[in-house]
Amino acid sequence: MKKKLVSALLCATMIATMVAGCGSSGGTQKDDSSSKTKTEDTKKSDDTTTASSDTEFGKALAQVDKDLAPLPKKDSGMKLAAIESTLSNSFWVTMQEGYKDAAKDYGVSIDVQATDSDTDTSGQLDILNNMLVKDYNAIAVSPLTEDCLISGIAAANKDDVKIITTGNQVNEDMLKQAGGNLDAKITVDFYNQGVMGAQYIIDKTGGRGKVAVIAGNEGGTQADARRDGAKETFEKAGMDVVDVKQCDFDAQKAYDATTAIIEANPDLVGIACGNDDMALGVVRALQEKNMKDKVKVVGVDFTTEAKSSIEEGAYDATVAMSPYLMGREAVIIMLKALEGQDVSEVGDSTPMVLVDKSNVNEMSDWK
């Protein structure tokens, strides 16, 4: 990949992940009924989402609203909810911001809740089940795995609550067997994110040498696709994939895995990671072994922490996606579904940008 901006604005109708993966969560509190972190926005109709149309983010924001036209009416009085992964990851904090700002733009309320960790599948189902007794009209979910929310989605269908998936998807065969269905899907080309990261390493190393892949939680839509995209791209280029580790989007697990990998493979030249949290754990391990200059590290998400590390020259590159726009799109899709608009044929319009030190300054307002 070239050092200049590599932008793939995939323009159909959806934007997603984000998955996942990716912070301080000011303004959160604990829900006594579910012991899960939540925030709630009350109804407010003034527009809050603004961005310069000259920046990459401004262009992406304008494209999202254009793709989703006709847009829903404002001030409908609908009650929305959304379920994310852990707010200890700044990716999900930014997505929460997208949900809340869009809800304000459209004059509706939204309750955003999050799991305690990236692997808290039972906790995520508990959140969904608890939401079903609160009279929400529609709920957006980002499933931790493809099967963890099946029973909850089927129950929501029976209660006539609209359900959409955002980024991470569910096993639709299993859902159908449970008597359930989705009203809409916001998809992301997670596989291509893995491809883009691996290709960056291939280009920087001449496609020669040993590489490794640090993946998220096995069974997660985004984790598996990013892992497979990176691994298969390395293999097609003839690089030697010496190890693939599932690290559950956890920086410490990625640090530990990297320490073991480089001890066994001191001539390693690159590591592709499933998100920025893990990638920064990898960078730390390499720095402590004085190997960072020898090993290229790429991740996914473009979190605030990742941006700072790239600017400092410690972290090589990341595939930026927009959790903020993903949250915005989810609100719009939920409202369109509640109006009876057809949202079944929505495609993939995820902005993805390969960011390294050469173009990081051009991404100052990206979120």
Q: Give percent of the chain with pLDDT exceeding 90.
A: 69
Residues 58 and 111 occupy one common structural domain = yes
Tokens found for residue 124: 């995520």
Q: CA 196 → CA 86, 175, 214, distances in Å?
A: 26, 31, 15
Would residue 33 count as lying in a domain? no
Q: What is the number of domains present in the chain? A: 2
| Gap between the Cα atoms of 203 and 272, Å rounded | 13
Same domain, 152 and 225: no
Cβ burial of 225 (10 Å; 0-12, 13-18, 19+) is buried
- 313 and 195 housed in the same domain: yes
Q: What is the CA radius of gyration of the chain?
A: 20
Assigned domain for 45 exists: no
Which backbone phi and psi does 39 adopt, to 5 degrees? -140, 150
Handedness of CA 93, 94, 95, 99 (dihedral sign): positive
Decide if pLDDT at 318 tops 90.
Answer: yes
The domain containing residue 135 runs over which residues? 6-28+50-188+322-353
Q: What is the pLDDT of residue 51?
A: 58
195 and 154 inside one domain? no
* Tens digit of each residue's pLDDT (9 = 90 or more) over 320-353: 989 999 999 999 999 999 999 989 766 666 678 9
130 and 275 share a domain? no
Q: What pLDDT is attached to residue 106?
A: 98
For the domain that residue 117 is a member of, what is the CATH number?
3.40.50.2300
Which residue, 101, 18, 13, is CA-closest to 320?
18
Instruction: Classify residue 37: in a domain, yes or no.
Output: no
Q: Tell me whether residue 148 is in a domain.
A: yes
Token readout for 337 is 């579904």
pLDDT score at 146: 92
Same domain, 20 and 162: yes
pLDDT at 53: 60
Pair (328, 207) in one structural domain: no
Residue 225's contacts (CB-CB under 8 Å, 6 or more residues apart) are 190, 191, 193, 194
The C-alpha angle 160, 162, 166, rounded to 5 degrees, equals: 155
Mean pLDDT to the nearest integer, 316-323: 94
Do the beta carbons of residue 314 and residue 281 sit within 8 Å?
no
Select from 151, 161, 88, 99 the least CA-distant residue to 124.
151
Amino acid at 13: T
Q: Verify that 265 and 223 share a domain, yes or no.
A: yes
Tell me: do 335 and 313 sit in the same domain: no
Global confidence as pTM = 0.76
| Both structure tokens of 53 | 């149309």
pLDDT tens digit string along 98-128? 999 999 999 999 999 999 988 899 999 999 9
Asked whether residue 162 is domain-assigned, the answer is yes
Q: Is residue 315 part of a domain?
A: yes
Lowest mean pLDDT across 193-197, 293-297, 347-351, 356-360:
347-351
269 in the same domain as 217? yes
DSSP for 232-272 reads HHHHHTT-EEEEEEE-TT-HHHHHHHHHHHHHH-TTEEEEE
Q: Which residue has the tokens 């293999």?
A: 235
Question: How far is residue 284's CA from residue 16's CA, in Å, rounded to a whole number?
Answer: 29
Q: Are residues 183 and 202 in the same domain?
A: no
pLDDT digits (tens, 9 = 90+) for 19-72: 334 433 333 333 443 334 334 443 433 445 555 567 888 888 888 888 899 999
Q: Clarify whether residues 207 and 78 are in a common domain.
A: no
What spatial distance separates the first Cα and last Cα of the chain, rounded to whole Å?
Answer: 23
The answer to whether residue 284 is domain-embedded is: yes
In a domain, 358, yes or no: no
DSSP code for 3: S
